[in-house]
Amino acid sequence: MGHLQKIVGRFSDYKDRSIVMSNSTSTFPAEPPSARTDDTLAKTARSAYRFQNRETAASPPTSNAASSKPPTAPVAPKTRPRGRLLIAILMFSACGAGIATVWDSLLRYQAYGIVTGKVINVSAPIDGVLQYVHVREGDHVRQDARLATVFDLDFEHRLQRISDELKMAQASLHAEIAKVQWQSKVQETEMTKSMADFFEGASNMYQETAALGVIRNELARTQALSQTHAAKEMDLRNQTIREQAGTDKLRAIQKALRVLKERAETAARIPRLGSEQIAPLVAKVDMLLNETERIREWIQQGELKAPVNGVVLSRHHPAGECIKSHEPLFSVMEESSLEIQLYLPQELTADYNVGDTIKLKIEPFEQLVPCEVTAIGTEHRQPPPNIEVFYRKNVTLLPIRVRPSQEFAGDRRMSVGAVAKLPHFSHRG
């Protein structure tokens, strides 16, 4: 309690002194005491509590006489400005970064473009499973080089089914050929036998004709002798019977010979068995062979090959995935097709001609890339969406095509879709 009384006494003395000094030194009208009472008391209380331990430890106990001396006013400690330098540095850094960003994005370059190339999407014409992948992204491929293999189980089953049908058709064809050959041999045997019978009948006819002639001669001689009564009547009758029997036999042989002749001629006129009988089976076998060849060619479509010489830009599916027909599997950029589509403002359209060399800034190359102007557009158009932020809204630009030098065009860091920039101070060749 004694210490608190000291603090209150110091507050009152400090209050009186401050009022006197302000009245004596200031030329301006003094503020009323009530306006400064709260602030003064708060500051004094803070100072007193701040140095309370120091004063109590340093000052020895005093008597009432010593305590009656007027106390001295406490001196408030000086506070150093903290964080001002750091804040100033951050503000200057932010301003510098903003100015550098605006300069680099809007003021440093006068035209922008996009790196383009002839990109071909390779797809399979069949549905199936991507069984094997033979290339990786970034690989250089030659034309007709294998990229991947697509397996279609449906076509494999169809090929096996056609192969089974082909085997059955071939077996039927072989059986029919054997049957035709046997029938042909039977026909040949029948015709040969008919001819042999005909010739045998002809031989018998000739023999009977000769024998009948002999009998007729003997009959004529016997008849002549009978008229002179030199021959018996019995001999004449016997000769007559023999002549009649020979005549009847010869007629029968001639009739049989005509039948044998017609039979031989009929056997000769019968068509021979050959290609006409097996033509349907041959046609079926040919059809199945052609169908097998077509299915094999269709399965070969699953062997994806590079359409041109170039670089594999991207691989859209890993091995093992099911894919649909005509779904892009690879993106291949054709060799020597890398170009830059540069969009010039209208005020720069007359500054460039075909064959000029300009230097462009293309990330990630540190140095400027020399490029040759290969073509100049014939109409103005709006820039693509990814670079239209660098131009005014609804502005029309003249596109020109430039080709980078071979040194940079063959570098893998030159990627399709990169932004090319034309500096203000770029030199033309």
Supply the pLDDT for residue 205.
Answer: 79
How many CA atoms within 13 Å lie on the side-chain side of 249? 17
* pLDDT score, position 153: 86
pLDDT reported for residue 187 = 76
Q: Give burial (CB, 10 Å; 0-12/13-18/19+) of 128.
A: buried
Predicted model pTM: 0.48
- pLDDT at residue 329, rounded to an integer: 92
25 in helix, strand or coil? Answer: helix
Task: Identify the segments of the chain with pLDDT beneath 50.
Answer: 1-4, 6-8, 11, 14-15, 17-36, 49, 51, 53-69
pLDDT given for residue 108 in this prediction: 74
pLDDT at residue 142, rounded to an integer: 93
Q: What is the pLDDT of residues 332-361, one digit of tens each?
A: 988 888 899 999 988 888 888 899 999 999
How do 328-334 and 140-141 pair as beta strands? unpaired
Strand extents, DSSP E, 179-228: none
pLDDT at 34: 46
pLDDT of residue 341: 92
Look at residue 48 in the predicted model and tell me its pLDDT: 54
* Long-range CB contact pairs, 266-272, < 8 A, 24+: 266/194, 267/187, 267/190, 267/191, 267/194, 267/195, 268/191, 270/187, 270/191, 272/184, 272/187
Residue-wise pLDDT for 387-417, tens only, equals 888 888 888 999 999 999 888 887 878 888 8
